[in-house]
Structure 1
């Protein structure tokens, strides 16, 4: 018997559903709080690798620019500065176009 002299099995259905709803709300809030904490921890853990990746990409981009300038300067000694610069630009644009076409094909094929 419970405190009020009512057996646990004899509680009204409305009271049982109310208790079920309250416990379900508490469970949902706890799960939501856990999900928030987990997401924040993952975001915090991904911050440093993301910054390092961005820095690596910027240095890669700088290296490609230096490579194009080096190609233009090397060609400038052979065919002149304007022609050397134009050829280096055309080579860079060709590589970019090829990579763009590869990306388009991969996107269309779903890979």
Structure 2
């Protein structure tokens, strides 16, 4: 799973959100490191809907514009759960190897 997809699914793991709220949440989660453009986000949302990972929760009109809220589906929850476990396993391997490396260097810490 690519990072933008992971972040979009993570943003939707709590309450349903509309597109702009997803963008803001991703920026906050990554301390501003990832700032998706609106076009990238909406293309991802359409793809994730087609894949059955998210669905429209509700729609409302705000200042004469349609605001669509999205939420994870059961498949989306399972996919995000699996990817989270995969990333955790990879991080554990990296931590073990770094710990061994620091031990080789005389116990210095970063």
The TM-score normalised by the length of structure 1 is: 0.31
Bigger radius of gyration: 1
Q: Which has the higher helix share?
A: 1
Larger RCO: 1 or 2 (CA < 8 Å, sep 6+): 2
Q: Which has the higher strand share?
A: 2
